[in-house]
Every structure is written in C-alpha cells, then in structure tokens.
C-alpha cells in the first residue's frame, strides 16, 4: 500500500507545483518595427489584433532587442546573455543550409522551463543551428519544432520544404522562387493552433518565431492593399504585416476558446527595430521612423534596437498601460524562470533581470547598464547607462555620446562636452564583453557586409 500512497502524494505535489505556473508565449516577428503597428502610430497598415492586444495589455516604448540582426538577437533571447557574452554575435552562414550553432553547454530558457515541467515548442524559424549540430532546437530544450531551421531558407514564404521536428517534408507546388501553391506561414499557423489545443492543460512554453514581415516580400493575397496606388513591394509588405496581425489574433482567439486566456502570458516583439532607411521605398511610404528615433537594421542607434513590444495577461499585466522604462531581450530568461518557479542553473550566467514585477505594473528593475555589440562589416558597440547612450561604429572610431532623455533621436553628440562620461562608456564597453576569437573587434571585415546582408 505504500507505493500507491507515495505515488498519489507525488502527483498531488506535482499538481500543486504546476497549478500556479502560467503558460508562456513569446511571439518573435522577423523585422517587425514599432512603426509597422497602429498602436505605435502606423496610419496605412491595419493591425487590429495587435492594437487590441496593446489596449488589453501593456505597450513598451523602450523594449530593446538583443542586437540589430537576426541570429544574435534571437540568441540573446534564448540564452539570457547580451552580445558581449553571447556565443553568437553576428549572422554567420554554415554550408548550404544553417547558421553557426549555439555551442555545447548552452543553457536556454526552453531547457529551464522544460525542467520545470513545461511542454515546449518552437514554431516558425530557428536559425541557431541545424539538427545535426549542438545548436539544434531539439537539443536545447524544445520538445517540438515546426518550420524553417535555416534563416536563409526562410527568405522564401513558398519554400520547397519545411521541417516537422527534424524530419524534412516537401511542399507541393512550390519552387522556392516567388509565389507558389503552398504558403508556409499557413502551415505554421495551423500547427501552432493544433499544438496549443493539444497542450491546453498546461503549463506550456511556445516560442512562436514568425518569419513575417522579413523579405523576400511575397504573399499569396494582397488583401486590403490590392488596389492601393503603391508599388507591388509596398502592397506585399503591408499585406504581410496584416497577415502577421491576423495570425496573432488567431492564436489569441485559440487561447480564449481553450479557456486558458487568463492563464497565459503573451509577449510580442520584433527581432530588431526599424528595417528601412527612412528615404527608401518602404521607409518613405510607411514612415517606420515616425517614432523619431535614429538608425535602422545593422546599426546600434536606438532606431535599430527598440522593437515593437507588447505584453498581455488578463488580470496580471495592466491593460492600456504604456511605459517608456527600458528592458532588453536578455531579461526574458530570468523572467520566465521566475514565472515558472524554476531555479536558474548555476552554470547559466544570465545578464538579464526578471521583469515579473514590471510586467505586473511595477517599475522596471534597476541596473547598471545595457550593452550591445555586432560583428557584420565592422564591429559596432553601444552602451546605455541611465539616460546616456554611447555608440562606437568600429574600434578605431570615436565614441559618440547622447542624452536619450532630451535627445531620443541621438542627433546631438555630446562627447566633446562630457569627456568623463565618454571615459565611463569606454570602460563599460571593455568590461561588458568577453573576448572571443570568433568575434574580434575589427574596423572592417572585408567581404562580410554584403554576404551577411539579407538575414
């Protein structure tokens, strides 16, 4: 009789442990900017579901991405490390398919949540290691994967194949070039809904890494924008953002249908800030830079780093709140761990701070500074401490200094007037990074800028 009683007690303890664990969904959109959404001021593109999410939750004006290109930004989100410590600090292609993998020994938020009793899934795009490498999502805490592994492969919305876990399956009627018969995002959205319904009893963690609205700018239905007096590329881009919005709405509706709406934290973000030069074909029409920030993708000014960030959790996250207190991608791991009641392993040296109190309406956690670097055509560095932001566009370039409180556009360089703050910024740039032979600080990396342009 002892064993059944012990088993019953164990099940009761497990039930008690999981009862207070919310489901956690992080929706990461590829290249979605603040200026793409109506709740941030977009006038031409319709995003009713994300706008409703903002009304029913909190909108963040200073949510910072990991850096301003795909793979390192996502690696920061998964590992809780900023790019001074993260093992991936740029987009790097490996062979015909796949990117430089997260190394052996990497601890991810998915692993921590899995060990705390969560079902875990990654849907959409991974881009941090193929299945036969140490960076496979299935080796880093995810029970299930569906979509594109390689970010280069994910440039096509009508690819010839996708992956279900590590099994490749073909998509009939597609050539991978232009619009085909099978729209990959439809399959991914269907799988998201199926998986959430299957795991409605929770707790679960879903990393929904949507490829929209990253280029190539192609979609099977221009919808509301078909007859607009715009270029085909502009029509496609607007339709892609609205399609993203409708798929987020579909997921939110599924949570409600399953009766788990108030048990689920949903966070949305883009993996970088603005994607387009304000003077470009897209930039001019859609005014992505209407938030007044300087810079766009592949730079480290705030326009390239502040992304479209929302959080919704009925009864927990304040509805209608708008806050300009800063946080960053590396805060997600400790946040998720606290929500799950999970202990962060001693081997996991996160740079982040838990946002749980902040999400629920309290102040943002106090910290010494934020740090970013990026290694594309040149090695860029940036650091923010208090309201001061310093940017160095290469190790041989001077440090620029801006007061974000009075000058959020980073238009007035105060480095000559504040040498003591420049010295502080230089010290932080040095102390915030771990030297790595894969990521030396170089003024110019010949041939890499063009090669790494698309992802």
Quickly state the pLDDT bin for 95 (edges 50, 70, 90).
Answer: confident
Q: Which two tokens stand for residue 94?
A: 């490996």
Strand partners, 311: 58, 267
Q: Which two tokens stand for residue 224?
A: 């509301």
Other C-beta atoms lying within 10 Å of the C-beta of residue 421: 18
203 upstream amide cis, omega within 30 of 0 = yes
Other C-beta atoms lying within 10 Å of the C-beta of residue 95: 8
Residue 11 reports pLDDT greater than 50 = no
Residue 19 reports pLDDT greater than 70 = no
Mean pLDDT of the chain: 94
CA–CA gap between residue 223 and residue 150 (Å, rounded): 29
The whole-number pLDDT of residue 12 equals: 41
- 186 CB-near residues (< 8 Å, 6+ apart): none
Quickly state the pLDDT bin for 21 (edges 50, 70, 90).
Answer: very high
CA atoms within 13 A on the CB side of 21: 24
The whole-number pLDDT of residue 445 equals: 75
Other C-beta atoms lying within 10 Å of the C-beta of residue 408: 21
Residue 3 reports pLDDT greater than 80 = no
Nearest to 137 by CA among 65, 32, 212, 209: 209
Residue 10 reports pLDDT greater than 90 = no
Task: Enumerate domains of the chain plus CATH numbers.
Answer: 21-359 (3.40.720.10), 370-451 (3.30.1120.10)
The whole-number pLDDT of residue 192 equals: 98
Residue range 185-200, pLDDT digits in tens: 999 999 999 999 999 9
Other C-beta atoms lying within 10 Å of the C-beta of residue 424: 17
Strand partners, 170: 161
Residue range 140-180, pLDDT digits in tens: 999 999 999 999 999 999 999 999 999 999 999 999 999 99
Share of the chain above pLDDT 70, in %: 94
Residue 206 reports pLDDT greater than 60 = yes
Share of the chain above pLDDT 90, in %: 92
The whole-number pLDDT of residue 451 equals: 40
How many angstroms separate the Cα of 160 from the Cα of each of 54, 120, 183, 213, 393?
A: 36, 26, 10, 19, 39
Three state DSSP letters for the chain:
CHHHHHHHHHHHHHHHHHHCCCEEEEEEEECCCHHHCHHHCCCCCCCHHHHHHHHHCEEECCEECCCCCHHHHHHHHHHCCCCCCCCCCCCCECCCCCECCCCCCCCCHHHHHHHCCCEEEEEEECCCCCCCCCCCHHHCCCCEEEEECCCCHHHCCCCCEEEECCEEEECCCCCCCCCCCCCHHHHHHHHHHHHHHHCCCCCEEEEEEEEEECCCCCCCCCHHHCCCCCCHHHHHHHHHHHHHHHHHHHHHHHHHHCCCHHHEEEEEEECCCCCCCCCCHHHHHHCHHHHCCCCCCCCCCHHHHECCEEEECCCCCCCCEEECCCEEHHHHHHHHHHHHCCCCCCCCCCCCCCCHHHHCCCCCCCCCCEEEEEECCCEEEEEEECCEEEEECCCCCCCEEEECCCCCCCCCCCCCCCHHHHHHHHHHHHHCCCCCCCCCCCCCCCCHHHHCCCC
Quickly state the pLDDT bin for 455 (edges 50, 70, 90).
Answer: very low
The whole-number pLDDT of residue 395 equals: 96
The whole-number pLDDT of residue 7 equals: 42
pTM of the model: 0.94
Residue 299 reports pLDDT greater than 50 = yes
The whole-number pLDDT of residue 4 equals: 45
Quickly state the pLDDT bin for 71 (edges 50, 70, 90).
Answer: very high
CA–CA gap between residue 96 and residue 115 (Å, rounded): 34
Determine the average pLDDT of the residues in 196-205: 98
Residue 294 reports pLDDT greater than 60 = yes
Quickly state the pLDDT bin for 308 (edges 50, 70, 90).
Answer: very high
Residue 432 reports pLDDT greater than 50 = yes
CA atoms within 13 A on the CB side of 119: 13
Q: Which two tokens stand for residue 222?
A: 């221009």
The whole-number pLDDT of residue 350 equals: 97
Q: What Rg do the C-alpha atoms of the chain give, in angstroms? A: 21
CA–CA gap between residue 83 and residue 15 (Å, rounded): 38
Q: Are 273 and 65 in contact (CB under 8 A)?
A: yes
Residue range 374-401, pLDDT digits in tens: 999 899 999 999 999 999 999 999 999 9
Residue range 40-70, pLDDT digits in tens: 999 999 999 999 999 999 999 999 999 999 9
Determine the average pLDDT of the residues in 269-286: 95
Residue 1 reports pLDDT greater than 60 = no
């Amino acid at each position: 009789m002892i064993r059944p009683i012990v088993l019953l007690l164990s099940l009761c303890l497990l039930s008690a442990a999981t009862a207070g664990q919310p489901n956690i969904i992080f929706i990461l959109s590829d290249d979605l900017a603040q200026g793409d959404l109506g709740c941030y001021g977009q006038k031409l593109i319709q995003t009713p579901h994300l706008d409703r999410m903002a009304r029913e939750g909190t909108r963040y004006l200073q949510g910072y991405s990991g850096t301003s290109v795909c793979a390192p930004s996502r690696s920061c989100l998964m590992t809780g490390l900023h790019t001074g410590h993260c093992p991936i600090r740029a987009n790097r292609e490996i062979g015909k398919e796949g990117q430089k993998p997260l190394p052996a020994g990497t601890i991810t938020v998915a692993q921590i949540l899995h060990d705390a009793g969560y079902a875990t899934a990654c849907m959409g795009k991974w881009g941090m290691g193929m299945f036969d490498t140490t960076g496979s999502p299935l080796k880093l805490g995810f029970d299930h994967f569906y979509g594109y592994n390689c970010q280069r492969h994910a440039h096509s919305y009508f690819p010839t194949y996708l992956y279900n876990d590590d099994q490749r399956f073909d998509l009939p009627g597609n050539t991978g070039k232009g619009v085909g018969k099978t729209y990959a995002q439809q399959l991914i959205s269907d799988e998201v809904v199926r998986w959430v319904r299957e795991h409605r009893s929770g707790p679960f963690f879903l990393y929904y890494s949507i490829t929209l609205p990253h280029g190539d700018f192609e979609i099977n239905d221009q919808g509301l924008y078909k007859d607009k007096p715009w270029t085909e590329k502009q029509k496609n881009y607007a339709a892609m953002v609205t399609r993203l919005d409708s798929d987020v709405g579909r997921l939110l509706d599924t949570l409600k249908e399953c009766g788990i709406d108030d048990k689920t934290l949903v966070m949305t973000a883009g993996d970088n800030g603005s994607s387009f030069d304000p003077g470009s074909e897209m930039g001019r029409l859609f005014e992505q830079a209407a938030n007044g920030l300087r810079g766009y993708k592949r730079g480290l000014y705030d326009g390239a780093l502040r992304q479209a960030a929302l959080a919704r959790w009925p009864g927990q996250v304040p509805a209608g709140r708008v806050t300009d207190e800063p946080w960053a991608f590396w805060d997600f791991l400790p946040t998720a761990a606290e929500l799950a009641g999970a202990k962060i392993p001693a081997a996991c040296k996160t740079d982040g701070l838990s946002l749980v109190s902040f999400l629920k309406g309290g102040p943002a956690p106090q910290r010494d500074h934020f740090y970013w670097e990026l290694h594309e055509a040149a090695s860029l560095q940036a650091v923010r401490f208090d309201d001061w932001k310093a940017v160095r566009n290469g190790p041989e370039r001077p440090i620029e200094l801006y007061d974000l409180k009075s000058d959020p556009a980073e238009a007035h360089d105060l480095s000559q007037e504040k040498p003591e703050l420049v010295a502080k910024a230089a010290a932080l740039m040095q102390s915030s990074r771990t030297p790595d032979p894969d990521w030396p600080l170089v003024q110019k990396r010949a041939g890499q800028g063009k090669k790494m342009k698309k992802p």
